[in-house]
């Protein structure tokens, strides 16, 4: 696997190195030893998968707060998405800044997201599926979010935003986070 740090401290792009032959390919997508060498979380307690039907649909921006913050390892297993992160760590030099990376079934990339980042994505084509490894169990009372159209953050979505959930529409702006 190839580990590339991104512009956001603690966020990594992880590229498998598939071995291909006439049958297809084989690729490692996780290795505890390599994650440990990069000081990344190696304890995954929950796996999630999401399918989003329509191009332009946005899910997010979500994170889980202290005392049970979660790191995520996210991979697109069908379709293409623009995966977006916003730094919500109050003491961070990049607080409120965002970064976007295309994940697709074709490129096989994964994104390692440490705690302290809001996460969301937009489907770039119909029928996208994401697979998540989570470092912490889900606690609904610690679920947090940020509006995907917050003008202060200024995320540039490549397609018109559509199909937001009622929850995501009602999320606070960055300036409202305490």
Which residues does the annotation mark as catalytic? 62, 132
Rounded Cα–Cα distance for residues 113 and 29 (Å): 15
Rounded Cα–Cα distance for residues 77 and 63 (Å): 21
Containing 166, the helix (H) or strand (E) segment is: helix 166-169
- For residue 73, the SS3 value is strand
- Per DSSP bridges, beta strands 80-87 and 117-123 are antiparallel
- For residue 26, the SS3 value is strand
């Amino acid at each position: 696997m190839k580990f590339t740090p991104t512009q956001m401290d603690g966020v990594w792009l992880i590229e498998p190195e598939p071995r291909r032959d006439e049958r297809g390919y084989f690729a490692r997508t996780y290795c505890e030893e390599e994650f440990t060498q990069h000081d990344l979380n190696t304890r995954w307690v929950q796996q999630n998968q999401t399918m989003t039907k329509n191009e332009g649909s946005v899910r997010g921006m979500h994170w889980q707060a202290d005392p049970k913050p979660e790191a995520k390892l996210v991979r697109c297993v069908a379709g293409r998405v623009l995966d977006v992160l916003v730094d919500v760590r109050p003491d961070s030099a990049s607080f409120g800044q965002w970064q976007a990376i295309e994940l697709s079934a074709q490129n096989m990339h994964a994104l390692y997201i440490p705690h302290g980042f809001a996460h969301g994505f937009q489907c770039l084509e119909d029928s996208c599926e994401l697979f998540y490894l989570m470092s912490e169990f889900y606690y609904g009372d610690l679920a947090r979010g940020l509006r995907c159209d917050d003008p202060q953050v200024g995320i540039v979505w490549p397609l018109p935003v559509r199909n937001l959930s009622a929850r995501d529409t009602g999320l606070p702006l960055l300036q409202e986070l305490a």
